[in-house]
Amino acid sequence: MLIKSPAGCEPFASEITPRAVWTNRRSLVQAVAAGAALGAPAWLRAQSGRPGAKLPSQPGPFPSMEKSTSYKDVTTYNNFYEFGTEKDDPAAHAHTLKPRPWTVAVEGEVRKPRVFDIDELLKLAPLEDRVYRMRCVEGWSMVIPWVGYPLSQLLARVEPTGNAKYVEFYTLADSKQMPGLRSSVLAWPYVEALRLDEAAHPLTLLTVGLYGEVLPNQNGAPVRMVVPWKYGFKSGKSIVRIRFVEQQPVTSWNRAAPHEYGFYSNVNPEVSHPRWSQATERRIGEDGVFQRKRPTLMFNGYAEQVAGLYAGMDLKRNF
Amino acid sequence: MDGPDAARRAAPAAADRPLKSAAARSRAGPVGLATGASRAADATSPVPLAAGSPRPPKQVRALKLAVFALALLPLARLVLAGSTGVFGGLGANPVELITRSTGTWALVLLCITLAVTPVRRITGWHVLQRARRMLGLFAFFYAALHFTTWVWFDHWFDVRAMVADVIERPFVTMGFLAFVLLVPLAATSTDAMVRRLGRRWSQLHRLVYAVAIVAVLHYWWHKSGKSDYAEVAWYACAVALLLGWRLLARMRRAR
């Protein structure tokens, strides 16, 4: 069911962001001017990689009318097992992560394999603000204003070959920086993967910030994926390697519990997880205790954009 | 869950009488929560409640008051945190916190209840016996809160969703079973029921061992999807130890 489009990677660049937005010279000029006024261009200041440093971003497509989850909840209620399995572990322990210096190796079935320095990655394409729903496989959800650019921008630079059918994302696995690696909950490093057409989809975001600022460590600094129509665990954090392959990869959760976590893991209220129903969800910070859970939407509400990727597929079998 | 205590109160005039009846029950075999004190009548252990050494009721009352107050702390914390935001409030996901807190405390109190007899036998602090029923009932209380959280906050009284949950998910099946098995134990915890059921009371209350195992299984399977056994392993060890001690004690007596 793969939509073969190795050459189709290039056209996406113009599709993803409305031209008007990223060629909005006025605000770009303003951003640079504002940065210059403070002694350095904004992207240069962002290079410090310090969480909280402002990022020069423009409003992106797919605007959302929903209320964003508070910065506090987004940055203190996390699943990032490299720092512990409790929700508050990442916020408590991720200070040991060093987001600079950082490189991301892009390799495998590509014509131009390369190792990108993180600061080079930050400048590869204009940064956009993208407000996405985030649905965790555990039955809760958030609305998060991310900062990043479509992964397709990177794909266009490295030129996947005709053999590239899938993309793997490797999270850093350094026990000196990540105390959670001592635990054997998962096989490290954490690996997630997408089909090439999923990776090239305009919604798929290479993410470097949230709330207009550099990503806090616990949210996957300095660079992570965000794939909003899939359960949260599909979006790898603190990525050090992106590899293009021909065969469907074995991802971390899929290996740990194949009956519970499928390769696709698209948000789907009709396919329940062995340990909880996926029909409803609780929006963090919004849905009170004495409030009925809200219904979960097919593809997390992004059906209009992504349903076409799975046309003709049995989504119950390919969960 | 406090048979001999009840039996003693039922016959306050002759403090040695309940011991006799307890000893009679003990001969019937059960090594349990129900008959912990009955074994106090064994030749090998002191007889704490025997005539001539009446326990000052003040001490018992103080113990019960302390247990009552301590056992209410987890609930007080939830209520205070939820209503006033102290202790950091209930966090980003209050329902998850309430579910986990009530479930954990139900299991902790169940383990403490099961620990009364071994601790009493090892240390000789027989007064602990007098708090056992209250501990058992608090275990049930937190299990009931845990169950209510599931019924109300999680499923919003949707019976079909709950039935599906119990059937489809083994860890929910176990949790449900553990709670259902606790109900008759709580219901027969009164003095009147102890008297009425006689020997069958202690047989019935041996169910508590099954509840402990099923409850640990519930927790274990809940964690299995994420292969995160760090915490549940402690509870599994505790329950294994508490039940193992009883098995050993029983084997020793059989010899």
pLDDT tens digit sequence for B71-104: 999 999 999 999 888 887 888 999 999 999 999 9
Question: Among all residues of chain A, which has the CA nearest to that of B90?
Answer: A289
Type and span of the H or E element at A142: strand A140-150
One-letter amino acid at A249 equals P
Q: Does A272 touch chain B (CB under 8 A)?
A: yes
- Topology adopted by domain A7-310: Sulfite Oxidase; Chain A, domain 2 (3.90.420)
Is B4 within a domain? Answer: no
Domain edges within chain A: 7-310
One-letter amino acid at B169 equals R
Alpha-carbon gap: A134 to the closest alpha carbon of chain B (Å): 15
Which residues of chain B are within 8 Å of residue A293 when distances are taken between CB atoms? 154, 156
Helix axes B132-149, B57-84, angle to 10 degrees: 20
Question: Under an 8 A CB cutoff, do A77 and B93 touch?
Answer: yes
One-letter amino acid at B106 equals A
Q: What are the tens digits of pLDDT across the range B52-74?
A: 445 558 889 999 999 999 999 99
Output the CA torsion B105→B106→B112→B113 (10° steps).
160
Q: What are the tens digits of pLDDT across the range A225-269?
A: 999 999 999 999 999 999 999 999 999 999 988 888 999 999 999
For residue A222, whether the previous peptide bond is cis, meaning omega lies within 30 degrees of 0, is yes
Is B41 within a domain? Answer: no
Question: Under an 8 A CB cutoff, do B93 and A87 touch?
Answer: yes
Q: How confident is the model at residue A288 (pLDDT cuts 50, 70, 90)?
A: confident
HSE-up (13 A, CA, CB side) for residue A32: 6
Which residues of chain A are within 8 Å of residue B94 when distances are taken between CB atoms? 288-289
* Parallel/antiparallel/unpaired status of strands A191-195 and A114-117: unpaired
Across residues A136-160, what is the average pLDDT? 96
Across residues B211-234, what is the average pLDDT? 90
Is B61 within a domain? Answer: yes
Domain holding B223, by residue range, is 56-254
Question: Under an 8 A CB cutoff, do A85 and B230 touch?
Answer: yes
Is B225 within a domain? Answer: yes
Residue A226, CA distances (Å) to A166, A199, B213 in order: 16, 10, 41
Query: Which residue, among A289, A290, A292, A294, would best test binding to B if mutated, counting the most B CBs under 10 Å from its CB?
Result: A289
Question: Under an 8 A CB cutoff, do B91 and A87 touch?
Answer: yes
pTM for this one?
0.78
Distance, in Å, from the CA atom of A235 to the CA atom of A226, rounded to the nearest integer, reads: 5
Q: How confident is the model at residue B46 (pLDDT cuts 50, 70, 90)?
A: very low
Amino acid A48: pLDDT: 59
Query: Which residue, among B78, B79, B83, B95, would best test binding to A if mutated, counting the most A CBs under 10 Å from its CB?
Result: B95
Helix axes B132-149, B3-10, angle to 10 degrees: 130
Is B26 within a domain? Answer: no
- In degrees, rounded to 5, the angle at the alpha carbon of residue A285 between the alpha carbons of residues A279 and A289 is 65
Is B201 within a domain? Answer: yes
Name A119's Cβ contacts closer than 8 Å, sequence gap at least 6.
A47
**Pick from A160-169, B11-20, B119-128, B146-155: least confident:** B11-20
For residue A56, whether the previous peptide bond is cis, meaning omega lies within 30 degrees of 0, is no
Select from A88, A256, A282 the Cβ nearest to the Cβ of B95. A282
Query: For B101, left (φ over 0), alpha (ψ -120 to 50), or beta?
Result: alpha
Across residues A48-69, what is the average pLDDT? 86
Token pair in block for residue B32: 């349990």
Domain count, chain B: 1
Q: How confident is the model at residue A27 (pLDDT cuts 50, 70, 90)?
A: low
Residue B108's SS3 state is helix
Alpha-carbon gap: A257 to the closest alpha carbon of chain B (Å): 6
